[in-house]
Amino acid sequence: MKLHVPKTTMVITFIVVAILATQFIRCKTTKADTRNSMDRSGVPGDFNDDIEKNMKEMFDKGKAVFRFDTFGDEVFWTDQLQIHKAIADEKHGGIGKGLSPKQALDAGLKVDLAVLPKFLRRKIKEGKFLDDPWVTLQLIKINAVLGVVGKFDGKGNLKSIGLTCASCHSTVSDPSGIGKRLDGWPNRDLNVGAIISMAPNLDPIAKLLNADQATVKKVLASWGPGKFDAELNLDGKAFRPDGKPAATLIPEAFGQAGHNLHTWTGGWGNVTYWNAYVANLELSGQGQFYDPRLMNKEQYPVAAKAGFGNKRSDSDHVSSKLAALQFYQLAIPPPKPPKGSFDEVASDRGQQLFSGKAKCATCHVPPLFAEPGWNTHKPEEICIDDFQANRSPEKTYVTQGLRGLWAHAKGGFYHDGRFATMLDVVNHYNTCKKLNLTEAEKNDLVEYLKSL
Ligand code: HEC
Ligand code: HEC
């Protein structure tokens, strides 16, 4: 059979096929080009895919660890301090009236609104149920209280309490204390001292510090909201020579990628060092930790006696989580300042001053805002006392990254919050470094700090 196709139809078909074919080829090459421009190995698939898969897994695991992992620290908070008995009322595994949601919020604990069932959400927003300790237990049960993990028996009795990183290093978006979870934002409302003080048995802490329980209570009461003493367990120094508490502000855990040293004081290590330190020696989780510097009896008498510099444990709930935890923490960006929260024109002038006349950028190197390299300084370089610095292995202070500064203004600035406002900080440097800044220039610098 002979096929009769008119010439014009053939031409049209040819053109259409040609167009489709070029489109197809173009589409393919664009895809390949974008891939190549990012990944110059030219070999898509296989190991490249392994890396991407790993990224996703590490991120998800790290987030879960940061929020919900207690590292087995129930052995301390529950078995020893018995803090669960102060949270539950006597009908649900506790010894007293129990902790009402209102008391929990007053102590600075935060509630994740997103996981609350609708009816509870509504009632709590209306201020109802806030006096009922049973509601606190329900909130703990659904993992709604940031950083507090509870286990219950079949009858609803609270059996154990453990704490996670999120208790101190997360907060929520609403001043009521019930809102959206903000990982990495320091909880400057959390009264850690008051919370630990609720525990029926402070004897383990008293024994460690070689003090009586009344003294421990006095120390815990001295901290106040937003502060904790992360080295008390090493050197037993609870107060400074001037009588003020030795506690420091809870720092932000965002914007830390690219910084070598973390924490306020120098020489401890980077994020993963400190994570291992906290999980093992602050939260008292079950794990392994090694740092021979903590065996120095002169500087760290408490740690040396307790053997903290070489902690071994048969069941290790820490080591397998450190990689993912670090990965997640480094992924937390500094939050951007809200629109209209600073004067843009003044901030532009402030930026010039920051790198120019005010010499801030010699240490706070943009865009990291800390030095690439060994980011520490002697106390005299920033004109402050050496008490806190001397508690660190290197006896220095760490240059703090300034991005997202606006998000942790509560409680003040510098390790102990000694400067209430950004202007106070600028005034301090003005005197310390003899900068001769005018009032207008100081104001510009403050607007710039607010913009970071
Ligand atoms: C009881 C409150 C509290 C808990 C819980 C806590 N931290 Fe911290 N964290 C602090 C304080 C206070 C500091 C500052 C210590 C210092 O510099 O001396 C700090 C510092 C840090 C830093 C350094 C941040 C910076 O900007 O310098 C990191 C990282 C960190 N913590 C991670 C963690 C991780 C991970 C966990 C969970 C394993 C955790 N923290 C649990 C209070 C806490
Ligand atoms: C010699 C190095 C150095 C210079 C110069 C310097 N800083 Fe700092 N900055 C530090 C160190 C170190 C800290 C941490 C102090 C502490 O831990 O108490 C710090 C802390 C800060 C903080 C508090 C951060 C926080 O989280 O509380 C602010 C704000 C700040 N600097 C702004 C500035 C400004 C503005 C300038 C310029 C006028 C400046 N710095 C110049 C080293 C420096």
Does residue 150 sit within a domain?
A: yes
Does residue 121 sit within a domain?
A: yes
Q: Which of 190, 214, 233 is the last residue of a domain?
A: 190
Structure tokens at 237: 């120094």
pLDDT at 30: 46
Query: What is the rounded average pLDDT of the residues 410-418?
Result: 97
Residues touching ligand 2 (Cβ under 6 Å) are 264, 358-360, 362-364, 377, 381-382, 397, 399-400, 402, 405, 413-415, 425-426, 429, 445, 449
Q: Give residue for tokens 């609720």.
A: 198
Please indicate whether residue 233, judged by its CB atom, sits closer than 6 Å to ligand 1: no
Spatial contact of 274 and 266, defined as CB atoms under 8 Å apart: no
What is the number of the ligand closest to the CA of 361?
Answer: 2
Spatial contact of 132 and 124, defined as CB atoms under 8 Å apart: no
Does residue 167 sit within a domain?
A: yes
Does residue 224 sit within a domain?
A: no
pLDDT at 46: 85
Spatial CA neighbour of 186 closest among 151, 239, 230: 230
Residue, of 386 and 42, whose pLDDT is higher: 386
Q: Whose CA is nearest to atom 29 of ligand 1?
A: 271
pLDDT at 23: 57
Domain that holds residue 153: 68-190
Q: Which of 125, 159, 190 is the last residue of a domain?
A: 190
pLDDT digits (tens, 9 = 90+) for 239-274: 999 999 999 999 999 999 999 999 999 999 999 999
Q: Whose CA is nearest to atom 22 of ligand 1?
A: 263
Q: Whose CA is nearest to atom 12 of ligand 1?
A: 250
Does residue 339 sit within a domain?
A: no
pLDDT at 123: 87
Ligand 1 atom at minimal distance to the Cα of residue 256: 26
Please indicate whether residue 251, judged by its CB atom, sits closer than 6 Å to ligand 1: yes
What is the number of the ligand closest to the CA of 444?
Answer: 2
For residue 408, how far is its CA from the centre of ligand 1 (angstroms)? 14
Does residue 99 sit within a domain?
A: yes
Spatial contact of 354 and 361, defined as CB atoms under 8 Å apart: yes
pLDDT band with cut points at 50, 70 and 90 for residue 290: very high
pLDDT digits (tens, 9 = 90+) for 350-394: 999 999 999 999 999 999 999 999 999 999 999 999 999 999 999
The alpha carbons of the chain give a radius of gyration, in whole angstroms, of: 27
Ligand 2 atom at minimal distance to the Cα of residue 397: 12
Which one of 260, 274, 318, 397 would you pick to mutate in the ligand 1 pocket, going by the greatest count of ligand atoms within 8 A of its CB? 274
pLDDT at 321: 98
Spatial contact of 189 and 411, defined as CB atoms under 8 Å apart: no
Does residue 45 sit within a domain?
A: no
Please state, in angstroms and rounded to a whole number, the distance separating the CA atoms of residues 56 and 51: 9
What CATH number is given to the structural domain containing 394?
A: 1.10.760.10
Please state, in angstroms and rounded to a whole number, the distance separating the CA atoms of residues 363 and 379: 14
- Which of 24-38, 211-225, 404-418 shows the lowest per-residue confidence on average (mean pLDDT)? 24-38
For residue 14, how far is its CA from the centre of ligand 2 (angstroms)? 70
Ligand 1 atom at minimal distance to the Cα of residue 249: 12
Q: Whose CA is nearest to atom 15 of ligand 2?
A: 414
Cβ atoms within 10 A of the Cβ of 371, count? 18
Q: How would you class 285 by CB atoms within 10 Å of its CB: exposed for 0-12, middle for 13-18, buried for 19 or more? A: buried
Please state, in angstroms and rounded to a whole number, the distance separating the CA atoms of residues 268 and 261: 7
pLDDT digits (tens, 9 = 90+) for 6-20: 565 655 555 555 555
Residue 282 has pLDDT above 70, yes or no: yes
Residue, of 128 and 54, whose pLDDT is higher: 54
Q: Which residues contact 60 (CB under 8 A, 6 or more apart)?
A: none
pLDDT band with cut points at 50, 70 and 90 for residue 75: very high
Does residue 409 sit within a domain?
A: yes
pLDDT digits (tens, 9 = 90+) for 86-103: 999 999 999 999 999 999
Quote the mean pLDDT of the chain.
Answer: 92
Please indicate whether residue 196, judged by its CB atom, sits closer than 6 Å to ligand 1: no
Tally of domains within the chain: 2
Q: Whose CA is nearest to atom 22 of ligand 2?
A: 414
- Most distant CA pair in the chain: distance in Å? 108
Query: What is the rounded average pLDDT of the residues 121-132?
Result: 88
What is the number of the ligand closest to the CA of 404?
Answer: 2
Please indicate whether residue 279, judged by its CB atom, sits closer than 6 Å to ligand 1: yes
For residue 5, how far is its CA from the centre of ligand 1 (angstroms)? 79
pLDDT at 168: 98
Q: Whose CA is nearest to atom 2 of ligand 1?
A: 168
Please indicate whether residue 192, judged by its CB atom, sits closer than 6 Å to ligand 1: yes
Structure tokens at 288: 């392994």
Residue, of 125 and 295, whose pLDDT is higher: 295
Spatial contact of 193 and 220, defined as CB atoms under 8 Å apart: yes
Ligand 2 atom at minimal distance to the Cα of residue 358: 38
Query: What is the rounded average pLDDT of the residues 159-181?
Result: 96
For residue 432, how far is its CA from the centre of ligand 2 (angstroms)? 11
Ligand 1 atom at minimal distance to the Cα of residue 398: 27
Q: Whose CA is nearest to atom 10 of ligand 1?
A: 250
pTM: 0.90
pLDDT band with cut points at 50, 70 and 90 for residue 124: confident
Ligand 2 atom at minimal distance to the Cα of residue 405: 26
pLDDT digits (tens, 9 = 90+) for 177-217: 999 999 999 999 999 999 999 999 999 999 999 999 999 99
- My answer on whether omega of the bond before 367 falls inside 30° of 0, hence cis, is yes
What is the number of the ligand closest to the CA of 396?
Answer: 2
Please indicate whether residue 318, judged by its CB atom, sits closer than 6 Å to ligand 1: no
Q: Which of 142, 165, 190 is the last residue of a domain?
A: 190
Q: Whose CA is nearest to atom 21 of ligand 1?
A: 263
Ligand 2 atom at minimal distance to the Cα of residue 433: 5
